[in-house]
Amino acid sequence: MANELNHPARAHFLEMPAGRVFLNSAYMSRKPKVAIESLHETVDRLACPDFAVEEFFEPLERVRARLARLVGGTSERMSLTGSASYGTATLAWNLRTRAQDLVGTRRRILGVDGQFPSNVQTWQHLEPFGFQLELVDAGPGATDRLIESLDTDVALLAIEPLSWTDGLRLDVPRLHKAAREAGALTLTDVTQSMGVDEPLPDTVDFDVVVGGGYKWLLGPYGTGFMRLSSELQEKLEPLEWNWKNFEGASDFNRLTEYQTAFASPAAKFDHGESSAFMRMAAWEKSLAVLEEITPAAIAAHTKAFGQALAARMDGDRFTLSEIESDHQATHLFRLAPRDPADFDALSERLASRGIEVSRRAGGIRISPHVYNDMSHLEALVAAL
């Protein structure tokens, strides 16, 4: 077990400062050394910003290609949005302004209670426009509850493959099949799964896939993507009509020869200033590292970490997510004292020992990565 918890990919990351244990990748991942170096190099260039024309465009296409390999699909379907919520807002705006064309008279939106706020509050703000958000109870059986609620009045199924608070999984292929049969659109927020899970299967009909880049995709804060089906790339309108998304934008001398055609289906939905040089330079480096490590290797390492924790933890005092269950993510799981009155004291003890985790829904969310090793596990167990 000791060798399993000392992964060679740790070499891609700086050593943690003494006395600190970072087990909070679901909050914001640590970044590879090469990404941090590229950030410093780009900051230095701001003293004399000599960014060439091609630097506005070429890095974006390379990032799209890497995202397509990691997320699934093709780069022509991968728009760069800066956040998952930008993609969610793009669909919400289109439902608000063009509902009849997209979903006919359907007005119900289904999700799971407790999913991330931007995948709830966005849809709540459509209620003045005739939509109704319905959230089924979270926990075991949520997939069945969603399927039972799907009917011909449902406009959209808005879900996340796994819970951001405890890692409990939904049956995504089954849900999308049921949504397709019911005639509903789907939006899937993969912020907490892509970068550890395998790419999305080609056999599942995904309408809208959104994700933030600063967690498991190792990017800086302010990175994200939206993957649309080919049909929706044509039918939806972008949130903004920024200059760089149109044909001919790379010829700065002819920008006033205003174009109406987009540079590509993916560029059509890119957010403004998507070239953001520091973020793109770092994210491109991080995605290359992620491809080298592979999501499968990360998943195997985090599972070994969870198994080792389960073996060493005092089960009379604490509960832990069922790491071995097919319905449980192993890179994001929940630990809690059996006596809820001990929760605050446990949180304070972990913090006092420099162990960085998240408090979520009355439990401690633990989210390791390849940069976590046996010493980090031993520090956590000692604190428990």
What is the model's pLDDT at position 2? Answer: 47
Strand partners, 355: 21
Across the range 300-315, mean pLDDT stands at 95
> pLDDT class for 362, splitting at 50, 70, 90?
confident
Residue 148 burial (C-beta neighbours within 10 Å; 0-12, 13-18, 19+): exposed
Question: Where are the strands (E) in the chain, listed by range?
Answer: 21-22, 78-80, 108-112, 132-136, 154-159, 185-189, 208-212, 224-228, 318-320, 333-337, 355-356, 358-360, 363-366
Distance of CA 319 to the CA centre of its chain: 26
| 199: pLDDT strictly greater than 90 | yes
Q: Taking residues 121-138, what's their average pLDDT?
A: 97
Per-residue confidence band for 231, with pLDDT thresholds at 50, 70 and 90: very high
Q: Give percent above pLDDT 70 in the chain.
A: 99
Comparing CA positions, the residue from 236, 345, 231, 224 lying closest to residue 280 is 224
Residue 148: predicted pLDDT:
98
Up-side HSE of residue 96: CA atoms within 13 Å toward CB? 15
The first and second tokens of residue 343, run together, are 């929760």
- The backbone region for 48, taken as left when phi is positive above 0, alpha when psi lies in -120 to 50, beta otherwise, is beta
pTM (2 decimals)?
A: 0.96
Largest Cα–Cα distance of the chain, in whole Å? 72
Averaged pLDDT, 272-300: 97
pLDDT tens string 85-118: 999 999 999 999 999 999 999 999 999 999 999 9
**Which residues, 6+ apart, have CB-to-CB distance to 269 below 8 Å?**
79, 81, 87, 90, 226, 228, 233, 236, 238, 239, 245
Listed in sequence order, the residues at least 6 apart from 363 whose beta carbon sits closer than 8 Å to its beta carbon are 165, 166, 334, 335, 336, 343
- Read off the pLDDT of residues 26-42 as tens digits, 9 standing for 90 and up: 999 999 999 999 999 99
Q: For 317, list phi and psi in degrees, rounded to 5.
A: -105, -25
Q: How confident is the model at residue 10 (pLDDT cuts 50, 70, 90)?
A: very high
Computed from CA positions of residues 67, 69, 74, 75, in that sequence, does the dihedral angle turn out positive or negative? Answer: positive
Rounding to the nearest 10 degrees, give the CA dihedral for residues 206, 210, 216, 222. Answer: 160
* Each residue's pLDDT tens digit, 139-187: 999 999 999 999 999 999 999 999 999 999 999 999 999 999 999 999 9
pLDDT tens digits along 369-384: 999 999 999 999 999 9
- Banded pLDDT at 290 (limits 50, 70, 90): very high
> From CA 372, how far away is CA 48, in angstroms rounded?
39
Round the average pLDDT of the chain to a whole number and report it.
96
Topology adopted by domain 53-291: Aspartate Aminotransferase; domain 2 (3.40.640)
* pLDDT confidence band for 3 (50 / 70 / 90): low
Contact 24, 16 (CB under 8 A): no
Provide CB contacts within 8 A for 170, sequence distance 6+. 112, 142, 143, 146, 159, 160, 161, 162
Domain residue ranges of the chain, discontinuous segments joined by +? 8-23+295-383, 53-291
> What tokens does 300 get?
């195997």
Cα(383)–Cα(74) distance, integer angstroms: 45
- Mean pLDDT confidence for 334-345: 93
In a 13 Å sphere around the CA of 319, the CA atoms on its Cβ side amount to: 13
Q: What letter would DSSP give residue 19?
A: T
Mean pLDDT, rounded, for 226-242: 97
Residue spans of alpha helices (H) in 183-276: 230-235
Specify the CATH class of 8-23+295-383 in words.
Answer: alpha beta
Beta pairing partners, 132:
108
